[in-house]
Structure 1
């Protein structure tokens, strides 16, 4: 298995993307530590992983609480012997107001939460990865700097901010054998609610691809497991494009 003897921490594991990542890691042999704020969702996912023969443990904490995140990372590293993979897919508090109408305070809060959460969790993992001279930190979402779309408010700005952090982390951690990679997505229709109002958006995601299909949650887990494995050891400071051609060169 690709991730045998590896330890993965997934922040936001109770959500659809986080669950997909955890399943992908667990299927490839990783011991998964599932972190979030909704105990029921975390426990259900952990039971599912264990029923399939995987390893999973849960922790309820706020990813903005630096002390709690650090304590959890220390516990994981001590119990498992290493902290090999870390990914934070906690969603930002998106504000879809056009920037010209955007309340400054709302903008600041949204961007601050996205950046702070990523900084806190990445710092916690990086401390251990630098010591062990290995590790993979994954980001999710990405940015296509050649395309823009009006009406996204803080969403794309937040992802661009996180991407800037990813580039800086990669150059600072590379010398210690730590890889930092983003999964670039054009959208995952399965994550949308099954209501008529969002059907046009789901179709738009598919229509924007070259393959005429969008990535699935299973695709997300499979690619993430590969990128986190030693078979992808040459990949860092880059985005791995899982958009089915919606984003291109």
Structure 2
């Protein structure tokens, strides 16, 4: 089962307010991992952290302008310094220029994971920059980092459940 591998791991979610990241948050909540939520909205990050904490996990929220390359880089560097490394990153940034911001976050965390020689990045949806992502995925793989693009987004008002040990349901 995949989630057993998350015990004692550091997980960061960029874009905690995105509805489709909530399904992964629920899946991670039962694990012994430290989960960090970064979102442009402090309220959204804190709400996601509270849900995970209520499920018995350890979580922390941070307000990070996900459309500012410098803030993403600084937050990621601080997180790596504090935790010793990021094991799993979920990138689910939405909004105007969300695709560009998402690519920035993926590149930033991929560089950190490549330096440590391992990591998994889950990208919740890709609608633009396909060629850039393909190149990034190939480069990251050479350094032990798996980049997994998921092409799904729940419709407004829908709630999706994601589990890697059984099929997804909506």
Instruction: Give the TM-score category using the shorter length.
Output: 0.7 to 0.9
Cα contact 1:130–1:178 (8 A) shared by 2? yes
Counting matched residue pairs gives: 166
Q: CA deviation at 1:127?
A: 2.0
Q: TM-score, normalised by structure 1?
A: 0.60
Q: CA deviation at 1:60?
A: 0.5
Cα contact 1:118–1:162 (8 A) shared by 2? no
Is there any run of 5+ residues in structure 1 with no aligned partner, and where?
Answer: 94-112, 143-158, 194-201, 203-215, 227-240, 245-249
Question: Once the two structures are superposed, what CA deviation does each residue of 1:150-176 show, in whole Å capped at 9, x if it has no partner?
Answer: xxxxxxxxx0x2433322111111110
Q: Hey, what's the Cα distance between the residues in 2 that align with 1:115 and 1:141? A: 9
Cα contact 1:22–1:34 (8 A) shared by 2? no
Q: TM-score, normalised by structure 2?
A: 0.84
| Correspondence for 1:217 | 160
Q: Hey, what's the Cα distance between the residues in 2 that align with 1:55 and 1:133? A: 25
| Correspondence for 2:23 | 20
Q: CA deviation at 1:3?
A: 0.6
| Correspondence for 1:173 | 140
- Pairing 1:230-245 to 2, within 5 Å after superposition: none
Distance 1:117 1:26, change over 3 A: same
Higher helix share: 1
| Correspondence for 1:5 | 8
Structure of greater Rg = 1
- Pairing 1:3-152 to 2, within 5 Å after superposition: 3-93=6-96, 113-142=97-126
Cα contact 2:16–2:22 (8 A) shared by 1? yes
Is there any run of 5+ residues in structure 2 with no aligned partner, and where?
Answer: none
Distance 1:115 1:40, change over 3 A: closer
Deviation beyond 4 Å, 4+ runs, structure 1 = 241-244
Q: CA deviation at 1:13?
A: 0.4
Distance 1:114 1:45, change over 3 A: closer
Q: Please state whether the residue corresponding to 2:150 is helix, strand or coil.
A: strand
Q: Please state whether the residue corresponding to 1:48 is helix, strand or coil.
A: helix
Q: Hey, what's the Cα distance between the residues in 2 that align with 1:243 and 1:48? A: 20
